[in-house]
Structure formats: structure tokens, C-alpha cells
Amino acid sequence: MEITETHCTSILTRATGYLKNVSSHSLNPYIGCGYGNSSCGEGCYVRFNQWLNRGREWGRFVDVKVNADEVYLNTVQAERRWAARRGMAFSIFFSSSTDPWQPIEQKFRVTRKVLDAMLEETPDVLILQTHSSRIADDMDRIISLSLKCNLRVHLSIEGDRDSLPGLPPPPCSVDERIRLVNEFTSRGITTVVCMSPLYPLIDPDVFFQRIAESGASAVVIDHFIEGDGTRDGSRTRRTRLPQAITTVDEQAVELSYREKVAEIARDYLPVGISSSGFAGVYSLQVDSVSEGGGRYEP
Ligand code: SF4
């Protein structure tokens, strides 16, 4: 793993693409991801982003934005005004192209310092997206922020299996992540489970029952088709993920599988679909849409 300390000149990125409907800004404390060689890294939507990766192999590098907190504080007022001029809440998706609680965070604490900066200059909406149970290291800060803004934690749990045939293990087990949902919700933090990208399920009823019992506010279901930024999932088809999914359940590589799973999930808790789900729009039944956690989200 190649670790490089960098000094960034900007840290709040104005949202484009699918994020436009989710938040006004994204914030990425790192470039690259230390989980890139785990199961989620295989189908990671950032893997083929050459603008970010600059020819480097996904999972083999992390650039650490060591001054992210200072740059946040220096630029937050201008970005807040930019969002206000557009009639938007100042809402931050943290993070869209890296994991804020990847292993290197224990050494550099860039994410922690940005959370401290946010306690000084708090956004209107804050979405914390992670695969990692290490987010619990910052529980106290997250609770403090949740008292000052509309905050929700998005925990990625692709399904009820830790991995798929031929793929490496995940950053942490499904059981561990469900325990984490419970830990956050019992502390009063709005927590959403994100199945992104959706894996074939062993027993959807048992899984969604567990998610509902963990106290999650909703589940977001995102298939690699449409979810990876291409209409047909062609970006993900360049990886081993579709083959691994097919080995378990060949129906699960079709977009119709997302709808089938969503229908079952709605018996247990509110469901969001792909980007509108990340934006906090959920429904229990197809004809009753509600907004949860605010107007914006990943
Ligand atoms: S944790 Fe997120 S950013 Fe990192 S490899 Fe997995 S999916 Fe990609």
C-alpha cells in the first residue's frame, strides 16, 4: 500500500452526477481506499475513476489529505453561501469516493479532525457513509453533531453474506455491521442500511427482520446496474462481481432482482431505491413515499 501525505486546496466538492439529488457537497478526506482489496473493493464504483486514481491500481494507494480540517474551515462559509444561493440546504455527503473510517484513519485521524471542524461550522445536513465498524471510534463526536444538524449514518451492508465465491472477505462482517446499527440507533442516531451494490440474499425475510430489529430507519437498495453510474452496469461488468453473483443466483444480476428484494423489504421497514434512497426518500408501499432524514443524502 502506497501512502502519500498531501495538502489539498479544496475539500468541499460541489455535487455533480447522481450526488446532485442527494447533497449540495461531498467531502472525501482521502483519495483511494484501504478497503480496495476487500470484497466491497471488487465492485467499488470508484475503482475505474481514472481522474482520481491517475493510473494507480485500486486498493494499492491512499492519498491522505492532512490539512482537510483547515481547508474545511477556510472554505465552509463560501460553500454554505453557494448552496444558499441555489436554494439548497448546505448538505454534505461524507464520503462518496473513499471510506472515512478505513484503516489509515487510525494513524492520521483526518476524518476525526474534520468532524471537530464541523462541530465549529456545522452543515445543515450531514450523511456519514461507511463500511467500517471503526466509525464507532467517533461515536461521541457524531452524537454531538447529531444534536446540531440533521445527521444520518449510512452503513453499507450489501446483503446477508460476508462475501461471494471467489471474492475476498469484507472490511467487517455482516454481523458486526448489524451490531453497529444497533449501537448507533440505541444512542439516538438515525441509521440507514445501504445495500450497495445488492448481493443475492440467502433469506430476505430473516435479513430484513434483523435490520428492522436493529432499529435502522430505512434500507436503501442499489443494484450495480444503474448504481455504478452506467445504465447497464457496464463498469461493474469489467470486474469479477457479476460472475460471483451469478454463481450464487443468476437472477440477481438482473435489475428486476432489486425490485423483487425491495418488495420483500417493504414488509419490514421503509425502503429507498438507488440515488433517491441515498437522498433520504423512502417508501413502505409503492404509493406512499415519504422523506426521511431531510431533503438531501448520498
Ligand atoms: S469501503 Fe467504499 S470506497 Fe472503499 S473500497 Fe469499499 S466500496 Fe470502495
Domains of the chain and any CATH numbers: 2-291 (3.20.20)
C-alpha cell at 136: 464507532
Nearest-atom index, ligand 1, CA of 45:
8
Q: Provide the grid cell at 277.
A: 434512497
For ligand 1, the distance from its centroid to the CA atom of residue 279, given in whole angstroms, is: 19
| Binding site membership of 155 for ligand 1 (Cβ less than 6 Å) | no
Inter-helix orientation angle 204-213/174-186, to 10° = 30
CA of 62 to the centre of ligand 1 (A): 12
Whether 236 is in the pocket of ligand 1, judged by its Cβ within 6 Å, is: no
Sorted by sequence, the CB contacts under 8 Å of residue 157 that are 6+ apart come out as 174, 177, 178, 193, 194, 195, 211
Q: 172 in ligand 1 pocket by Cβ < 6 Å?
A: no
Indicate the pLDDT class of residue 293, thresholds 50, 70 and 90: very low
Q: From the CB of 46, is ligand 1 less than 6 Å away? A: yes
Cis peptide before 197 (omega within 30 of 0): yes
The three cell numbers of residue 168 are 475476498
Average pLDDT, the chain: 93
pLDDT tier, 285 (very low <50, low <70, confident <90, very high otherwise) = low
Q: What is the mean pLDDT of residues 185-199?
A: 97
CA distance 51 to 73: 26
Cβ of 32 closer than 6 Å to ligand 1, yes or no, is no
pLDDT in tens, 67-77: 999 999 999 99
Pick the residue whose CA is nearest to atom 8 on ligand 1: 44
- Of the candidates 46, 66, 62, which has an alpha carbon nearest to the alpha carbon of residue 1? 62
Judged by DSSP in three states, 18 sits in helix
Distance CA 184, CA 147 (A): 14
35 lines ligand 1 (CB under 6 A): yes
Q: Which of 219, 211, 210, 216 lies closest to 281, judged by CA?
A: 219
Average pLDDT over residues 159-177: 94
How many other C-beta atoms lie within 10 A of the C-beta of residue 243? 14
How far is 137 from 34, CA to CA, in rounded Å? 17
